[in-house]
């Protein structure tokens, strides 16, 4: 049984090793083959990890020769295993899509470096999720930042340089604040291991109330910058809209989510809900989350470029996740984790759809996409599914998470916020439905367009179909997922 426990380390090592083999391969096909097989292998290993957790419960595994409080350890429970499954699965689909389209976005000889960066990015994201050591988490988050800057700048033009610099500055600000928060925690507890900090913090929290608040707010803002907490989201639309399509999908669906998982770990494992309820952090998160939900959608309505619409929609959806955390109940955290799943799958699909529409038609602004439904019916169909999920139509995961968010809100006695959830859903409909309706209907829109003229071959839209099926699957199995998250949150 102990042999099965090394899976997380194998996953990360495999990705890092293949990342640095990648630049040596000459042919494009070889790069694609190596990348897809590696990511598929990590997906299978993650599934194995989930099975191990199911058999033996959550476990720790030390990295290197030293034991836990001094050495670095990984903690693998249900949450970590499921997130690994999600991250590797979505990356697999995005890379698969990238096989057919990446050469249209970036130069031929940059493709191998692109996949190097994707592998480093995935390894670092998984590291953030697995780690049980705060400083180790910080280092992995820095690796995420640098490699995600890399996958934006690789499309070499004026816009990406500017957007990447903005992203880098905001991210560095965030990691500075995060490290300062960790330093404050270290100052009062003398530990960096999450479990050890929690043991010490329980003893000193009452006498060091100020430092607890300061460190928590520094960590919250630091991670908030990285996952686009509302007023700190300014880097997001530029970065996500100017990047290559596959990078936008990766950034929007995965890169934002790893800091969220880390924040949830910090909240429920390092501090514990009781300690945080003494501080005003939860109400701040709640209000910022609501502001993001509403204002992110309002900004999205006024955007002209279709990619920026989707990017602002991400800000709104991250608002939901922060709202769930801000409720300060276990139910809220569970639903936030579920929404991480729902949003990662849906947004990856939306960005890939929009990317292929832009690529085939050459248009950029959302008014130009009138009648695209006649030319690319399957792609717009997938887009429609994603849009329905974002708005919250039943049987799609967006509906399930909004439903549970509402239940969590009622359980937390915050009735007034139900109105905001409803308003945000309606605002989502305001900017998603016109794109879909103008794409399909309206006689003057589709006049002169030839049916399936910009159609993509079926193998190129297969990743989209897989993502759509996965999306509907997770809403079908939502109760199972929530049960797993509940188990994951209860285990210390």
Partner 1 sequence: MDNLMTNYYDSASMILFGVGFMTLLLNNNLIKKIIGMNIMDTSIFLFFITKGYIEGGRAPIYAATQSQSQNFMNPLPSALMLTGIVVAVSTTAFALALTIRIHDAYGTIELDKVIEKRGLQNEQP
Q: What residue ranges bind partner 1 (CB under 8 A)? A: 70, 135, 139, 142, 145-146, 149, 153, 156-159, 161-162, 164-165, 168-169, 172-173, 176, 179-180, 183, 186-187, 192
Contacts of 23 (CB under 8 A, 6+ apart): 112, 113, 116
Nearest alpha-carbon partner for 348 in 107, 103, 172, 88? 88
The CA R_g of the chain, rounded to the nearest whole Å, is: 22
Shortest Å distance, C-beta 173 to partner 1: 6
396 within 8 A of 334, measured Cβ to Cβ: no
Annotate 18-72 with DSSP letters as a single string: HHHHGGG--SHHHHHHHHHHHHHHHHHHHHHHHHHHHHH-SEEEEESSS-TTTSE
Shortest Å distance, C-beta 201 to partner 1: 16
| Exposure b/e, 459-486, CB count within 10 A at least 16 = b | ebbebbbbbbebbeebbeebeebbebbe
Which residue lies nearer to partner 1 by CB, 189 or 198?
189
Shortest Å distance, C-beta 259 to partner 1: 16
Annotate 423-489 with DSSP letters as a single string: HHHHHHHHHHHHHHHHHH--HHHHTTPPTTTTPPPHHHHHHHHHHHHHHHHHHHTHHHHHHHHHHHH
Shortest Å distance, C-beta 243 to partner 1: 14
Q: Give the tokens for residue 138.
A: 């910080």
210 within 8 A of 312, measured Cβ to Cβ: no
Shortest Å distance, C-beta 385 to partner 1: 33
| Distance between CA atoms of residues 173 and 470, nearest Å | 36
Which residue lies nearer to partner 1 by CB, 83 or 216?
216
Which residue lies nearer to partner 1 by CB, 33 or 66?
66
Shortest Å distance, C-beta 159 to partner 1: 8
Shortest Å distance, C-beta 312 to partner 1: 18
């Amino acid at each position: 049984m102990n042999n099965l426990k090394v899976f997380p380390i194998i996953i990360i090592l495999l990705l890092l090793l293949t990342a640095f083999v990648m630049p040596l391969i000459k042919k494009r096909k070889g790069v694609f083959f190596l990348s897809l097989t590696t990511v598929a292998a990590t997906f299978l290993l993650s599934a194995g990890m989930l099975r191990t957790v199911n058999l033996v419960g959550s476990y720790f595994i030390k990295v290197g020769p030293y034991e836990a409080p001094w050495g670095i350890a990984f903690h693998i429970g249900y949450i970590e295993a499921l997130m690994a499954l999600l991250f590797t699965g979505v990356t697999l689909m995005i890379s698969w899509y990238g096989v057919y389209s990446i050469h249209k976005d970036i130069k031929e000889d940059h493709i191998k470096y692109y996949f190097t960066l994707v592998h480093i990015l995935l390894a670092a994201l998984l590291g953030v999720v697995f780690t049980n050591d705060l400083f180790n988490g910080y280092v992995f988050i820095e690796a995420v930042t640098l490699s995600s800057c890399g996958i934006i700048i690789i499309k070499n033009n004026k816009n990406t340089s500017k957007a990447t610099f903005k992203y880098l500055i905001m991210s560095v600000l965030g990691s500075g604040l995060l490290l300062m928060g960790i330093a404050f925690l270290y100052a009062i507890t003398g530990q960096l291991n999450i479990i050890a900090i929690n043991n010490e913090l329980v003893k000193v929290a009452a006498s060091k109330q100020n430092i607890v608040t300061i460190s928590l707010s520094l960590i919250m803002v630091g991670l908030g910058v990285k996952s686009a907490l509302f007023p700190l989201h300014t880097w997001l639309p530029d970065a996500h809209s100017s990047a290559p399509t596959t990078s936008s999908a990766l950034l929007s669906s995965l890169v934002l989510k790893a800091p969220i998982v880390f924040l949830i770990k910090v909240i429920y494992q390092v501090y514990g809900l009781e300690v945080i309820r003494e501080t005003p952090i939860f109400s701040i998160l709640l209000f910022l989350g609501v502001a993001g939900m509403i204002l992110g959608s309002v900004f999205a309505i006024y955007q002209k470029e279709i990619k920026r619409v989707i990017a602002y929609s991400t800000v709104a959806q991250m608002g939901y996740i922060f709202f769930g955390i801000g409720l300060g109940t276990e139910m809220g955290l569970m639903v936030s984790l579920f929404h991480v799943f729902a949003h990662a799958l849906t947004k990856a699909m939306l960005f890939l759809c929009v990317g292929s529409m832009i690529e085939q038609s050459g248009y950029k602004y959302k008014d130009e996409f009138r009648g695209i439904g006649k030319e690319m019916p399957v792609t717009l169909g997938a887009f429609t599914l994603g849009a329905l999920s974002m708005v919250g139509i039943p049987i799609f995961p967006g509906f399930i998470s909004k439903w549970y968010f509402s239940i969590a809100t009622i359980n937390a006695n915050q009735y007034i916020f139900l109105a905001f959830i409803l308003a945000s859903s309606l605002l989502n409909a305001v900017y998603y439905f016109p794109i879909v309706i103008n794409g399909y209907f309206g006689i003057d829109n589709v006049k002169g367009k030839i049916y399936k003229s910009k159609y993509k071959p079926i193998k190129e839209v297969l990743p989209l179909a897989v993502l759509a099926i996965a999306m509907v699957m997770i809403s079908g199995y939502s109760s199972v997922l929530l049960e797993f998250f509940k188990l994951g949150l209860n285990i210390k």
